[in-house]
Every structure is written in C-alpha cells, then in structure tokens.
Amino acid sequence: MKIAIVGATGAVGQQMLQCLEERNFDCDLKLLASARSKGKVFSYRGKDVVVEELNEHSFDDVDYALGATENDLTKKWMPWAQKNNVIVVDNSSAFRLDPDVPLVIPEINPEDIAKNHGLIANPNCATIIALVALNGLNKRYKIKRIICSTYQAVSGAGVKGIKDLENQSKDPSIPSQAFQYQIAYNLIPQIGSFDDLGISKEEWKMQNEGRKIWHNDDLLVNCTCVRVPIYRSHSESITIECEEEVDVKEAQEIVAKTEGCVLKDDPKNGIYPMPLDTTNQDLVYVGRIRKDISDLTGHSLIVFCCGDQIRKGAATNAVQILEKLVK
Amino acid sequence: MKIAIVGATGAVGQQMLQCLEERNFDCDLKLLASARSKGKVFSYRGKDVVVEELNEHSFDDVDYALGATENDLTKKWMPWAQKNNVIVVDNSSAFRLDPDVPLVIPEINPEDIAKNHGLIANPNCATIIALVALNGLNKRYKIKRIICSTYQAVSGAGVKGIKDLENQSKDPSIPSQAFQYQIAYNLIPQIGSFDDLGISKEEWKMQNEGRKIWHNDDLLVNCTCVRVPIYRSHSESITIECEEEVDVKEAQEIVAKTEGCVLKDDPKNGIYPMPLDTTNQDLVYVGRIRKDISDLTGHSLIVFCCGDQIRKGAATNAVQILEKLVK
C-alpha cells in the first residue's frame, strides 16, 4: 500500500508523518511538496524517504493520499489524484461543503466515510475541537445554538506563524510574516478574510461544518475567532443552548465518557483545560462546565475546551479517517 | 487640598499618580504604602514626594483619598479615613456592592456620585471596559443579557504578573509568582477563586456590578474570564441580547458617539480593536460589530472591545470620579 502526503513539509504535513510513524502505520510513504523542498529527506519507520516535487504523475503509483496544502493548490492536484483513483483525505477547506464529499470526525460520524467517492474532507481545526468536546452533550441535550469565542494558537497559521511569535517574543519590533500585526503580547481578532456581514471565513466554519458533521441543518453558531500569542493548541469558550434542560453533574459525567475527551473540571483545585497541557497529544480537554446563569430557562451550559489543532484538529483526525478507510 | 494615594507603589497606585500628573491636578499629594516602600521618592508636578508608611494617623490632614490596595488592607484603613471625614474613591472590590456606596463609571452614572457618604467605589476593570463599550447600545436597544469571554492581561495581577510574563517569555521554566501556572505561551481560565457553581469571583462581577451601575436588577451576564499572555489591556468578546431589534449600521453610529469609546470597525481593511493599540491611553476601542446570526429574532449583536485596564479600568476612572467630586 502506497500513501502520499501532499504538502509533506508544512506544519500539518509534518504532523501527519509523525502521526503515521507513532501509529506504526504499515505502508510505503511518498512525500510530495513544492520544487523548493525537493530532495529533503525524512525518516519513516527506519527508512529514509526523499521528498518529491508534486506533479501530474505523482499519483500514478499511489493508493491513498493525505492532503495538507492550501485550497488553491489542492484544487489543482485533486484531479491528478482522482484520475488515478487515489482515495484522498484532504485537510483543506476546498471541498468540505461539497455534498458529494463526506466531512468526518471519526468519533462523531464514522459512518459517513463509506459514502465517499474518492474524497473525504477533514474539518476545520476549531470545529473539530469544539464538536469533539460537545458531542456527548449534543446527543443527550440536543444543542440548538453555540456561542463560541476562540483563543487560537499561532501555529494555525503554519511555520511562519510560529516564527513570528518566536521572533517578536524576543524583539516585538520584528515585522510579522504570517500576521497583519504584531502577535507577541497582543491578540488579533481576525482569522481569514471577512464578508459583507463582518464575519470571517474561520467564523463561518463552525456553523457550516457543524451542521454537516452532526447532520443538523438547524444548528446555529455565533463564533468570534481570535489569534493569541500561544504556540500550539486552540482554546474555546463556549455557551450551548439546548432543547433539553441541562444538568451540570450529568454533563460532567457525559463529557468524561465522550470519545476523544478528557474531563478536566475541578476548578477549585486548579483543574481546567489549558493549551500547554493539550499540546502534542490527541485528546480534547474539557472543563469549566457550569450552568449559564444568564439563561433562566436552564437549557444553557458553559464549557471551556482545549485541543492540539495540528494533531486532533488536523493531522490526527486525517490519519484516523485513513485508518478506518484502510480497514 | 490634600489628596492621598493609598497603595501608591502598586501598579494601580502608580498609574493614579501618573493620571493626576497628566491632568495637572492641583493638589498636595500624599503617597501611602507599606513599611517596605517607606522613603521611596516620586515626583509630582515638579516636586519630590516621599512615600509614607500607612497608619492610623495617615489621614489626619487629608481631604480626598484614592484607594489602590487589596480588599483586606482596604477594610483596615477605611475606618481611619472615615474618622477624618476623608472622601475616598476606592478601587478594591470590598465595598462595591454595599448599598450605601455608589459604584460609578463617570461616562455612565455620574449622578450617583452625589449620593456618596464619604466613599465611592470604582468598578472592576473588565466591567468598566465592557459597560463603556456597551453603554450607548444599552440606551438604544436595552440590553437584557450579556455573554462575555475575556482575554485579560497579566498586569491585572499587578507587578508580579508582568514579571512572570517577562521572565517566562525568555525562559518558560521560570516559576510563576502571580499565577498558578506558566502564563507565557499559555492561557489560564481562572481569575479569582471559584464558588460552588464553578463561577469565579471575577466572573460574577460583570453581572453584580453591571446591575448596580446601569440600575437594572434584571441584567443577566454569562462571563468566562481568561488570563492571556499580554502585558496590558483587556479584550472582551461580547454578545448582547436586547429588548429591541438591533441594526448593525445604527449600532456602529451609536458606538462612534458613545462617550469614552472609539469605533474601530472596518475589518476588511484590518481595522478592529487590539490590546496593543489601547495600551496607555484612556479610551475603549470597539469593533467587530455584527449581527448574531445564531439569534433568529434579530435582537442580538456581537462586539469586540479592548481597553487599558490599569487606566480606564482602574486609575483613570478613579481620577475622573475625583475630578467630579472636587467640582
């Protein structure tokens, strides 16, 4: 079995390589990237793999591909993969809302994988983290509305975002490469471009993708996405309004049993999710669970969650889909 | 006229001194602090002022005092001030909810100053910033409910908080003095201690103090307070639900005219509030104003605001109250 990582030298591509290695995934690996990275060598399961330049013929001998390139480039190489009947798990947002393309979080809607026509989309990172955190609660209480404010790490903007924070933490006058403004000791309430409603692309994703993943076209999401000076792991402050009345104790028990979640909820003893703690592992930490005292109907709950957006928010989720595909 | 700053060497006390100086406030100044700071010298309007140790007799020759000490200490010295009929503007939370003590944001409820019995309380920093941002909108649309997630700067935890971020930005292994965990490249979803509902002291303040300042006992607030690795200026992601239907264009015009606010709302051109921009000035920047698409009634609006929590969130607000008192 031959598996290609397309965009193998970027932050997500590199994490895909590491996830496959950790899981000791039995395959021949092909690493594809731009001409600039051609010839770079990475190790996979004890063997050297040389990065090849992505071109029309890259997929001739490939069975499955993990996509980790930007939308424009993804749209360019996808026909090359499809011509060769390669089954692709793609991390870009280019095809996520296409009705012919399943959008999958394996803990939530693994059954959708079987509906694929050669392409499965990996959801947005902040969406994966929120939906994993909320999935058990959604089953029990039926979530109608999500109000979310994010605290998103710089590595969400790739290797350049990490470099900006490194540089500016030492010298704030060093100009940003990945961001419009200084990010060290600052925050930027913009991720992606804005539409005429004043909503950013990133802010639309949780509603649009959440509806598709949960098969609930009535889901309503109010989202504010903010970049913060943290290297890795996104955090989210979330209020949910539900059809059923909520119970805090029960909600904590549900989260503790939800696949992919760890309950970290003993605030009096300093136990709550923090991005440092969720960095470089695959689970979503959930805590600060409490009744929303501003909703007198008792149908609203507040939670705080953190997850590694390069792992579970991107690479790990894609590899989990691949594992299910291969099975 | 003799004015004392109690707690003159702390972050807020020092800012009070600077605010008085900037406004060229005509008075004799007395700087009071603990024994540790006795003898330190600061300049005020060209004259040296020597820090004195706070004791029972400190207020014998004082007309007005600005309080910038923690609750416990404030409760100790307040009777000494009152015995001498000193009028105090106090920044601690010790007396804020006392029905005999006006709680004042001069742009919002200056008329409450006249109701004082020798003590006026300065509200919580995050509350001041939010209420200044929302005051015009509240007048027009009558806010029923606020859902707020904060991004609070380390200087809110005083000089030690600043030091922690400085140290850990260079070497994350240096232990925190002000915080329970590493704050550089991390966030901590705890400000103050928690009650049995899982709500922190800081998270209660916006509802309790907001009701008093706006004279609206029905105001409902859902608040999540988070410490972020930013030196100065708190940011807040806020959704408001109103009695009236909201209009984005009108809301922007209202904010632009609201006293104490600056409208920074042209996100397509990268114009939105950021904490770096609001640092070391007295206005609250408001932007990202948009309809809450998750409330189909059209009564909800989203805003993002930033303000310098040591200035407008504490020292400046207290000095503005003092100015009105003296008039």
Does residue A181 surpass a pLDDT of 90?
A: yes
Does residue A108 surpass a pLDDT of 90?
A: yes
Residues of chain A neighbouring B221 (CB-CB closer than 8 A) = 293-294
Which tokens sit at B67? 């309080």
pLDDT band at residue A271, thresholds of 50, 70 and 90? Answer: very high
What would the pLDDT profile of A136-150 be if each residue is shown by its tens digit? 999 999 999 999 999
Chain A residues 95-114 within an 8 A CB cutoff of chain B? none
pLDDT band at residue B327, thresholds of 50, 70 and 90? Answer: confident
ipTM > 0.95, yes or no: yes
As a CATH number, domain A2-122+314-326 is: 3.40.50.720
Alpha helix stretches (DSSP H) within chain A: 11-22, 71-83, 125-141, 159-170, 201-213, 248-257, 275-278, 316-326
What would the pLDDT profile of B63-101 be if each residue is shown by its tens digit? 999 999 999 999 999 999 999 999 999 999 999 999 999
Residue ranges of chain B that CATH labels 3.30.360.10: 126-309
Alpha helix stretches (DSSP H) within chain B: 11-22, 71-83, 125-141, 159-170, 201-213, 248-257, 275-278, 316-326
The percent of residues in chain B predicted with pLDDT above 90, rounded, is 99
- The partner residues of A28 in beta bridges, in order of sequence, read A2
**Phi and psi for A315 in degrees, rounded to 5?**
-65, -50
As a CATH number, domain A126-309 is: 3.30.360.10
Which tokens sit at A123? 């959801």
pLDDT of residue A176: 97
Which tokens sit at A315? 């690479």
Which tokens sit at A124? 């947005």
Instruction: Looking at the complex, report in whole angstroms how far the Cα of residue A107 sits from the nearest Cα belonging to chain B.
Output: 26
Helix (H, G, I), strand (E, B) or coil at B85: coil
Taking the C-alpha atoms of residue B159 and residue A146, their distance in angstroms, rounded to an integer, is 37
Q: Does A230 contact B187 at a Cβ distance shorter than 8 Å?
A: yes
Residues of chain B neighbouring A184 (CB-CB closer than 8 A) = 169
Range B50-58 average pLDDT:
98
- Phi-psi sector, B132: left (phi>0), alpha (psi -120 to 50), beta: alpha
Nearest to A180 among B221, B270, B294 (CB): B270
- Please, what's the largest Cα pairwise distance for chain B? 62
Does residue B39 surpass a pLDDT of 90?
A: yes
Which tokens sit at A252? 């904590």
In the DSSP assignment, the letter for residue B267 is G
- What percent of the residues of chain B are helix, what percent strand, and what percent coil, each to the nearest 5? 35, 25, 40
The amino acid present at A237, given as its one-letter code, is S
- Overall size of chain A counted in residues: 327
Q: Does B182 touch chain A (CB under 8 A)?
A: yes
Q: Does A185 touch chain B (CB under 8 A)?
A: yes
Using CA atoms of A114, A117, A118, A123 in order, give the dihedral in degrees to the nearest 10.
-70
Cα distances (Å, whole numbers) of residue A250 to A107, A256, A305, A323: 20, 10, 17, 32
Cβ proximity of B301 and B292 under 8 Å: yes
In the DSSP assignment, the letter for residue B198 is S
Please give the mean pLDDT across all residues of chain A: 97
pLDDT of residue A327: 87
Tell which residue, B22, B184, B209, has the closest CA to residue B97: B209
Catalytic residues of B: 125, 234
Return the number of other C-beta atoms located less than 10 Å from residue B79's C-beta.
11
Please report where in the chains the tokens 């939010």 appear, as a residue: B130
Which tokens sit at B1? 């006229």
Write the DSSP string, A258-305.
STTEEE--BGGGTB---HHHHTTSSPEEEEEEEE-TT-TTS-EEEEEE
Taking the C-alpha atoms of residue A229 and residue A183, their distance in angstroms, rounded to an integer, is 6
Q: What is the 3-state secondary structure (H, E, C) of B111-126?
A: HHHHHCCCEEECCCHH
Binding-site residues of B for phosphate sit at 96
Please give the mean pLDDT across all residues of chain B: 97
pLDDT of residue B227: 98
Cα distances (Å, whole numbers) of residue B139 to B142, B215, B276: 6, 12, 29
Residues of chain A neighbouring B235 (CB-CB closer than 8 A) = 187, 189, 226
Q: Does B235 touch chain A (CB under 8 A)?
A: yes
Taking the C-alpha atoms of residue B266 and residue B287, their distance in angstroms, rounded to an integer, is 8
Instruction: Looking at the complex, report in whole angstroms how far the Cα of residue A264 sits from the nearest Cα belonging to chain B.
Output: 12
Taking the C-alpha atoms of residue A269 and residue A286, their distance in angstroms, rounded to an integer, is 15
Cβ proximity of A44 and A27 under 8 Å: no
What would the pLDDT profile of B12-28 be if each residue is shown by its tens digit? 999 999 999 999 999 99
Please report where in the chains the tokens 């009108």 appear, as a residue: B250
User: Which chain A residue has its CA at the smallest distance from B291's CA?
Assistant: A197
pLDDT of residue A14: 96
Q: Does A237 contact B295 at a Cβ distance shorter than 8 Å?
A: no
Cβ proximity of A214 and A150 under 8 Å: no
Tell which residue, B94, B133, B93, has the closest CA to residue B289: B133
Which tokens sit at B234? 């708190």
Residue ranges of chain A that CATH labels 3.40.50.720: 2-122+314-326
Instruction: Looking at the complex, report in whole angstroms how far the Cα of residue B293 sits from the nearest Cα belonging to chain A.
Output: 6
Please report where in the chains the tokens 């915080």 appear, as a residue: B179
Q: Does A162 touch chain B (CB under 8 A)?
A: no
Taking the C-alpha atoms of residue B101 and residue A155, their distance in angstroms, rounded to an integer, is 48
Tell which residue, A2, A15, A8, A108, has the closest CA to residue A308: A15
pLDDT band at residue A311, thresholds of 50, 70 and 90? Answer: very high
Does residue A326 surpass a pLDDT of 90?
A: yes
Taking the C-alpha atoms of residue A21 and residue B164, their distance in angstroms, rounded to an integer, is 37
Nearest to A151 among B226, B288, B289 (CB): B226
What would the pLDDT profile of B190-243 be if each residue is shown by its tens digit? 999 999 999 999 999 999 999 999 999 999 999 999 999 999 999 999 999 999
User: Which chain B residue has its CA at the smallest distance from A272's CA?
Assistant: B189
- Phi-psi sector, B118: left (phi>0), alpha (psi -120 to 50), beta: left
Cβ proximity of A314 and A241 under 8 Å: no
